[in-house]
Amino acid sequence: MNKHTTQADFPTEFDYIIVGGGAAGCVLANRLSARSTLRVALIEAGGPDNTPRIHVPAGTISLYKSQKYTYQYYSTPQAHLDNRRIHVPRGRMLGGSSSMNSMIYIRGARSDYDHWESLGCTGWGYDSVLKYFMREEDNRLHQDPHFHGTGGELIVDQPRDPLGVSRLFIQAAEEVGLKENADFNGAQLEGVGIYNVTQKDGKRLSAYRAFVAPVRSRPNLHVLTNCRVASLVTDGQSVQGVTVEHNGQFHVLRAHRETILSAGAIGSPHLLMASGIGNAAQLLESGVPVVADLPQVGCNLQDHIDGLVTLRSGSATTLGFSRASLGSVLPAPLQFLLKRKGWLTTNYVEAGGFASTRYAQGVPDVQFHFVPGYRSHRGRLFEWGHGFALHTCVLRPQSRGSIRLTRDGSRAPEIDFNFLSDERDALVLLEGIKLARRILRASAFDGIRGKEMAPVAALQTDAELMAYLRATASTVFHPSGTCRMGSDDASVLTPDLKVRGLKGLRVADTSIMPTLISGNTNAPTMMIGDKAADMILSELA
């Protein structure tokens, strides 16, 4: 849909309406529209993805503060993080956050999904979800066919031109006892290595580019962009569609079968609550008439809290801007254009891995993202000079936060991660940062290591490091859990992703996760969309 669309040609009747053109929504749109008798709408509040900032891997760094392509959310002051507000950017364009993430392909641990099933989420165990990961995948790395697929829409490949310093990270990690792992999505998660990425010919392969762009010509698939969903259309018993705003005009779009929310762990509960579906007392406080009292909508918010160790370096072999690096920086655009090589191919976290602290219970409990360039200790996007850094996050946080509507009349989402409210997360993060320091102090880095800028070498005691983490820790941008599925009456969704107490409404995105998976959430979110489509189509048979 473009700005010239008129009232007369605005489509309003569909079988299925999918709210959100991100990772899950794009897979759903592909799978449902493959049945030619079904009329499917994919609604995206943002616009098209037609900018090099999205498609060139290194462009990702320019998107996090973009007003055009990103929702610029901020959390409430975090009581256990020195009352800081945490920046929470989310994708606002076709592809959603898959159009601005670091393109890392990680599924999580087998035990994550088996745990879901043990909580009553029948059909969500690892053996059940593996087939969806494999069906979607076009693995270009000749990895174990017991875990990987070929011929799917999503290309999984290695980075085109990783920096040599990323290999130094692997060597350094091996020095402290971690082993190299060539496939984090295979038989085991633990270890370090170069991350696999979702790229095609050296360019970003978002969920939109993988699953929707190739089939957008299907006559039964309608992709509506710059189209904000204001509320669900409901009679209190069922949902019949959505009210949308486009070019200042409001339209009612009808879904004859189902409306599916794929707006993410912030967007989906927010839309439910804005439509009167949620905790009745909180809705009334925000001035929203109650349609359905579902107290757990917006609860159970989880995210991977992250700490940073960052060092300066005098070596121009790391990413950075200096006179010495001009020979690499200036030819980078031409190198990328002609050969898909050079600095513009970086996703800034080329290497990393998974490790177990002393608190782990048989499966890694921290993840590393290694940055082969200087990560500003002041929070800036760019700093003059060189260095390298290591992010460390808590994989299975115990802290729980919430999304609710603000009480100021705006009905905006109020995001409270409640980070480190559970002391167990603080203990794991502290041990993870200590391990990160050991890795960066290993002899592999001796030739290029400079001054530690954060947390700074003088901070050595647990109390000092914990104070540093409370002053600086942030999110890895993996919010989840706010429309939890389960078999208990308190869950928002049944295991087939239907909203309890309402007909014609499902949710399919990271918000359905009862517990956060152990790693980056892009691949699991696409799996959720794929499995949701199968469940929907099976009911039509």
Kindly indicate the confidence band of residue 379, based on its pLDDT and cuts at 50, 70 and 90. confident
Asked whether the predicted pLDDT for residue 8 surpasses 50, the reply is: no
What pLDDT, in 10s, does the model give residues 42-65?
A: 999 999 999 999 999 999 999 999
pLDDT confidence band for 299 (50 / 70 / 90): very high
pLDDT at 3 over 70: no
| Rounded CA separation 155/105 (Å) | 10
Q: Is 200 helix (H, G, I), strand (E, B) or coil?
A: strand
pLDDT score, position 384:
87
Non-local CB neighbours of 314 within 8 Å, separated by 6+ positions:
386, 448, 450
Encode 279-335 in three state secondary structure: CHHHHHHCCCCCCEECCCCCCCEECCEEEEEEEEECCCCCEEECHHHHHHHCCHHHH
Instruction: Assess whether pLDDT exceeds 70 at residue 447.
Output: yes
Q: How far is CA 446 from CA 103, 379, 450, in A?
A: 30, 26, 9
- pLDDT at position 2, please? 39
Q: Is residue 302 within 8 Å of residue 401, measured between CB atoms?
A: yes
Tokens of 234: 């409901």
Per-residue pLDDT, averaged over 499-517, amounts to 98
Q: What is the mean pLDDT of residues 212-235?
A: 97
**Contact assessment for residue 459 and residue 466, using Cβ atoms and an 8 Å cutoff:** no
pLDDT on residue 382: 73
Please report, rounded to a whole number, the percentage of residues in the chain having pLDDT higher than 70: 98
- Model confidence at 541, pLDDT cuts 50, 70, 90, reads low
pLDDT in tens, 100-128: 999 999 999 999 999 999 999 999 999 99
Q: Which residue has the tokens 């969806």?
A: 132
Residue 381 banded pLDDT, cuts 50, 70, 90 = confident
Catalytic one of 246, 369, 386, 478: 478
HSE (side-chain half, CA atoms, 13 Å) at 136 = 34
Q: In the prediction, which pLDDT does 7 show?
A: 42
Q: Please tell me the pTM assigned to this model.
A: 0.96
148 noted as active-site residue: no
* Residue 79 three-state SS: coil
Instruction: Report, as an integer, the average pLDDT of 336-355.
Output: 94
Residue 4 has pLDDT above 80, yes or no: no
Q: What tokens does 509 get? A: 């995105």
Specify which residues 401 forms β-bridges with: 301
d(CA 272, CA 492): 11
SS3 call for 462 = helix
- Residue 67 pLDDT level (bands cut at 50, 70, 90): very high
E strand residue ranges, 54-180: 70-74, 87-91, 137-139, 154-156
- Among 97-106, 263-272, 333-342, which is the least confidently predicted range? 333-342
Task: Report which of residues 172 and 374 the model is more confident about.
Answer: 172
For all residues of the chain together, what is the average pLDDT? Answer: 95
- pLDDT grade, residue 9 (50/70/90)? low
Q: What is the CA radius of gyration of the chain?
A: 23
Would you state the CATH architecture of domain 160-194+305-394+420-472?
A: 2-Layer Sandwich (3.30)
Q: Which long-range contacts (CB under 8 A, 24 or more apart) does 406-411 make?
A: 406/286, 407/285, 407/286, 409/287, 411/273, 411/274, 411/286, 411/287, 411/288
Preceding peptide of 455 cis, ω within 30°: yes
pLDDT of residue 258: 98
CA 161 to the chain's CA centroid = 24
pLDDT digits 0-9 by tens, 398-439: 999 999 999 888 899 999 999 999 999 999 999 999 999 999
